[in-house]
Structure 1
Amino acid sequence: MASPATKQVAVEFPGLIKQYTDGTVERLCEFPTAPPNLDSPDPKTGVSSKDVTISDDPRISARIYLPKLDELGKRRKLPVLVYFHAGAFCLGSAFSALQHGYLNSLSAEAEAIAVSVEYRLAPEHPLPAAYEDSWDVLQWVASSFSAAGDGEGEEGVERWILEYGDLDRLFIGGDSAGGNIVHNLAMRAGEEGLFKGEVKIKGGYLLHPFFWGSNTIGKEPKENHQNSLPAATWRFVYPSAPGGLDNAMFNPGAKGAPPLARLNCDKLLVCVAGKDQLRERGVWYYELVKASGWKGEIELYEVEDEDHCFHLFNFGTENSETMIKRLASFIMS
């Protein structure tokens, strides 16, 4: 077998990922994994966590977080957040140390159960695989609520949702590609209904959402727009996307895209960063939803002097902690 040094590169995003002509993939930007805190809660936050397999074919799993419960907490129901990680659909993991620290803090601050989804990655599994996996996990969580009446549920993990989860406070949230997933799941829930229409999404947050399109908007540079990093990434992770850059999953404002009034949740929080290449798209999405006739509440939150996913890459800084508090406030309100 040829070594990476001798194989021919088919596609490369420098410092991030390479795909070779033989189909193999080398990820250059990977973070170490972190084990769950089941037997011993996280010492800083008191949050417990465990991993669960939701499907074997395809392989879909998640890490579940349960905040520390006092006697009052054991008697009340908690909001449930289904979370989708960043990584341009081709990088990242729910089990990385980067995500683990973030979800421990968010679960503790929001006093919420968090379900962090390990969806399949492109290019081995091109889109729409990540969308399908994420939808399956959201349906799985919704079905957990309905199981409360018969006491059924997978050992341990669903029990946390059954015993402590609040049916009326189901949230979805994600960063970058995860924010894109949030939009698309809220749209799909509006079209198909979530778990036979028995469960509704209370709210969703889109943090630095990964949207683009064939035409520039706002202050986006016009030069090389269709060959920019967001455009090239979309072609890499979804080469067969109908409409290309103007596929509705990537460009919610494209001609022929489904009406945004179909979004199935009560409220949305769109977060942008002033130095982020995707900043204009986040603001544009916020304005599109506001003008769509959607009946929910939407809010825009901007951190001017930060860049894309700063709250992850600069975890523990003052701005990162402020962001976590803002997300927690959205979930708790």
Structure 2
Amino acid sequence: MSVSKIKHDVDIVWEYKPRFRLYKDGSYERNDFPDVPPSLDDPITGVSSKDITISKEISARLYLPKLNSPNQKLPILVYIHGGAFCFESAFEAYYHDYMNALVKEANVVVVSVEYRLAPEHPLPAAYEDAWNALQWVASHSDNEAKIEKEPWLINHGDFEKFFMNGDSAGANIVHNMIMRVGTEKLHGDVNISGAILAFPFFWSSNPIGSMSTENNMQSYFCNIWGFIYPLAPGGIDCPLVNPMANNAPSLAKIGCSKMLVVTGKLDVLRQRGFEYVEAVKKSEWKGEVELVDVEGEDHCFQMEHLHSQKARDLIKRMAYFIMK
């Protein structure tokens, strides 16, 4: 959306430089980075990628590592990108390069989902798109499913090793997907083997640390949530963004057997991630949850600094989670 009149810094409610600005009057600026094309046999990683259409609303970029044999079966990973539900794309270089690195390290088939963004499509649109994409992938395990099946998933996907991963808002979506899987079946009775929540976007009306209640409720997390989901039941204590809310469904319903939650010691969302892990541990969920807290790093640093040693180490840790 182009802003019709001159705006000043004092008018900014929330911003993520240089990608997005939200102003007091509800107008916004989104700086979309250009998409990059998929590639066959990437020269650095050997990973191949291609773009597909899942439905009218949903598309995706698929990734396939270099194979050891023509019939090799590999774990499947459904990836949900971040961007505060209102910017970023599965097709931009930021995610394309990261997916290539992760696919090479984990030796996994990835479906990186392009979902609808707010405010053009306010929440819960992104949640529904993610669920429909997840069901579409799972339907490839069902011989009776009446879809045009994707050869990379049919020929190389191992539906006994089915994972989800997301960062920031994408990690929030992943949480809500595994909660839904706990009460609703996927096509072919596919089970989620595990989920990786990297720097998850959770918030609540309860302040953390030295933050006052007033400052907490005026934080840009509250502002952006109200912008992307103006009709959210419970506002910032909607269970979709506050899994520990009083009216939230029990975390014992999480529909996978293991989770890896990643936080960074410089990330403002770090404490929310800690609270989530503790709440999962205290629930009656029968799975295993692990926490990785990266020293000296901020929100989603592994994509910002993809070639740093700490980013490589984190990608190896994620790959180990999938492969073990």
TM-score class, shorter-chain normalisation, is over 0.9
CA distance in 2, matches of 1:220, 1:205: 29
- Kindly provide the amino acid, as one letter, of the partner of residue 60 in structure 1: I
Check conservation: 1:120, 1:130, Cα contact below 8 A: yes
CA distance in 2, matches of 1:234, 1:307: 21
1:203–1:3 Cα change, 3 Å: closer
In the alignment, which residue of structure 1 is the partner of 2:62?
A: 64
Check conservation: 2:171, 2:200, Cα contact below 8 A: yes
Q: Find the partner of 1:154 among 145, 148, 169.
A: 148
> Counterparts in 2 of 1:13-162, with a 5 A limit?
13-14=14-15, 15=17, 16-18=19-21, 25-28=28-31, 30-37=32-39, 40-56=40-56, 59-71=57-69, 74-147=70-143, 154=148, 158-162=150-154
- Kindly provide the amino acid, as one letter, of the partner of residue 174 in structure 1: G
Q: Report deviation, 1:70.
A: 1.7
Q: Report deviation, 1:22.
A: 10
Check conservation: 2:182, 2:253, Cα contact below 8 A: yes
1:284–1:24 Cα change, 3 Å: closer
Is 1:221 paired with 2:211? yes
- Compute the RMSD of aligned alpha carbons: 2.2
Check conservation: 1:7, 1:21, Cα contact below 8 A: no
CA distance in 1, matches of 2:2, 2:241: 35
1:159–1:193 Cα change, 3 Å: same
- Kindly provide the amino acid, as one letter, of the partner of residue 55 in structure 2: S
CA distance in 2, matches of 1:4, 1:248: 33
In the alignment, which residue of structure 1 is the partner of 2:256?
A: 265
Q: Report deviation, 1:24.
A: 7.0
Check conservation: 1:245, 1:251, Cα contact below 8 A: yes
Q: Report deviation, 1:146.
A: 1.3
**Larger CA deviation: 259-268 vs 17-26:** 17-26
Q: Report deviation, 1:272.
A: 0.4
In the alignment, which residue of structure 2 is the partner of 1:299?
A: 290
1:3–1:245 Cα change, 3 Å: closer
> Counterparts in 2 of 1:117-266, with a 5 A limit?
117-147=113-143, 154=148, 158-195=150-187, 198-217=189-208, 219=209, 221-222=211-212, 224-266=215-257
SS in 2 for 1:271: strand
CA distance in 2, matches of 1:12, 1:221: 18
User: Unmatched 5+ residue regions in structure 1?
Assistant: none
Q: Report deviation, 1:7.
A: 7.0
TM-score, normalisation: structure 2 = 0.92
1:124–1:20 Cα change, 3 Å: farther
What is the CA deviation profile of residues 121-141 of structure 1, one whole-angstrom value per residue up to 9, with x for unaligned ones?
Answer: 001100000000000000000
Number of aligned positions between the proteins? 319
Q: Percent identity?
A: 51
1:234–1:4 Cα change, 3 Å: closer
- Kindly provide the amino acid, as one letter, of the partner of residue 273 in structure 1: G
1:60–1:325 Cα change, 3 Å: same
What is the CA deviation profile of residues 86-120 of structure 1, one whole-angstrom value per residue up to 9, with x for unaligned ones?
Answer: 10000100001000000001011100000001000
- Kindly provide the amino acid, as one letter, of the partner of residue 26 in structure 1: E
**Larger CA deviation: 204-213 vs 313-322:** 313-322
Check conservation: 1:61, 1:117, Cα contact below 8 A: yes
Check conservation: 1:206, 1:270, Cα contact below 8 A: yes
Q: Report deviation, 1:4.
A: 3.7
Q: Report deviation, 1:23.
A: 8.2
Q: Report deviation, 1:221.
A: 2.2
Check conservation: 2:204, 2:241, Cα contact below 8 A: yes
